Amino acid sequence: MTSRVIVADDGHDISVVTYAGADALARACLDPLAALHVGADLIQAAQRHLTRAAPPDLRSVGAPIRGGDPHARRRRERDAALREAAQVLAPGQPPEVQARIIVGRLSRYRRMPDETAADRIVLDRIKASGLEPPGVDRTAKIIRAGEQKPDWLPMDGD
């Protein structure tokens, strides 16, 4: 059955409830700041979807698509964040171990307002790419590729 989401606001508490028909499936209470963050995340994600769905001539004028991978820039940013996460979360470990740790942390990661911890900031950057987090094997490959090419960081004006 199709689920729908309702925001309940009794003037005191803000809660998000999913329904299937008349049955409430899940409910979560949010403080005002968390509600703002979820709202902002939704706007960003919905905007990305609209941009993806739009014909190329309606997309951002400054970033023409020149063939190849349409998500190349975001993929590059995500991969850079994955390599950074490897250094932050498991420095000196083999790429396979680093990849397992990163994938595990990513699956549990939930964005919080005002992230300040370095490990959470880098996980947030991976999530913020909007791309599906890669699996352990792919993550290990991305980390290894960074080791082989120490100049992987995008140049200024790239």
Partner 1 sequence: MPADVSVTDDGELFLEIERQRVSLSPSQGFTLAQALIRASTRAIIVDETDRVAVLNTVQTAYPVTGG
Region from 16-24, 56-64, 96-104, 143-151 binding partner 1, contact rule CB under 8 A: 16-24
CA distances from 152 to 79, 104, 108, 109, 149 (A): 10, 25, 28, 26, 6
Q: How far is the CB of 117 from partner 1 (least distance, A)?
A: 14
Distance of CA 81 to the CA centre of its chain: 11
The answer to the question of residue 65 lying near partner 1 (CB under 8 A) is no
The answer to the question of residue 157 lying near partner 1 (CB under 8 A) is no
Amino acid present at 7:
V
Q: How far is the CB of 131 from partner 1 (least distance, A)?
A: 7
The answer to the question of residue 9 lying near partner 1 (CB under 8 A) is yes
What does the alpha-carbon distance between residue 158 and residue 153 come to, in Å, rounded to a whole number? 10
Amino acid present at 91:
P
Per-residue contact flags (x/-) with partner 1 for residues 20 to 59, judged by CB under 8 A: -----xxxxxxxxxxxx-xxxxxx-xxxxxx--x------
Residue identified by tokens 């913020």 is: 128
CA distances from 118 to 89, 105, 131 (A): 9, 13, 21
Q: Candidates 75, 105, 130, 144: give the one binding partner 1 (CB under 8 A).
A: 130
Residue 3's SS3 state is: strand
Give the residues lining the site for partner 1 (CB under 8 A).
3-5, 7, 9, 11-12, 14, 16-18, 25-36, 38-43, 45-50, 53, 110-112, 130-133
